[in-house]
Amino acid sequence: MKIFKKIWGPIVFIGGLLLFSTLWNFKNDKAFETITIFLSITTGFTITALSIIATSKFSKQLYLIEDATDNSRTLLHTLVRQIQSASLIFVLTIGLILIYQFFPQSPGWSSFCFIGYELDLKIILHSTIWVLVIFAFYRFVKIFNMFSNFVIQAAKKE
């Protein structure tokens, strides 16, 4: 089961990338500005949450509670790891959007042939951004729910 959990993420990522590169490839670059603003806000939220946790008694409470899913970690370890990985996804997505915005607009320069298939680097980058945006939204909701649950668990311990 652990092996399945480790490989399903890359499989879903590659599958989503293929779908966004082929079937769902539509011109929606204008949404990237709004997405960048949202991801900037979520990055600020996660950094603020991390700094609040670091400077409060809440972190000590979370450090004393064992994670039910992994007994080698505490809830503090789990929450910090989740916030770190989500923040990296947010920043990576923002970075790729910025790179995409600076790509030259001239058609054909980024196309290349790979094993008999014509691929366009700009379409692959565009699709990668959309897949990462979906993951970023998922991670944000997951962190928000986890943080809420941990607050309740820590309050129960008092």
What distances in angstroms separate CA 125 from CA 15, 18, 76, 77, 110, one per listed residue? Answer: 15, 11, 35, 33, 11
Rounded to the nearest angstrom, the gap between the alpha carbon of residue 145 and the centroid of all alpha carbons in its chain is 15
90 near 36, Cβ under 8 Å? no
- Residue 2: its pLDDT value, please? 63
- Residue 17: its pLDDT value, please? 66
Instruction: State the pTM of this model.
Output: 0.76
Pick out the chain residues at pLDDT < 70. 1-6, 9, 17, 20-27, 105-119, 153-154, 157-158
How confident is the model over 31-50, as pLDDT tens digits? 888 889 999 998 898 888 88
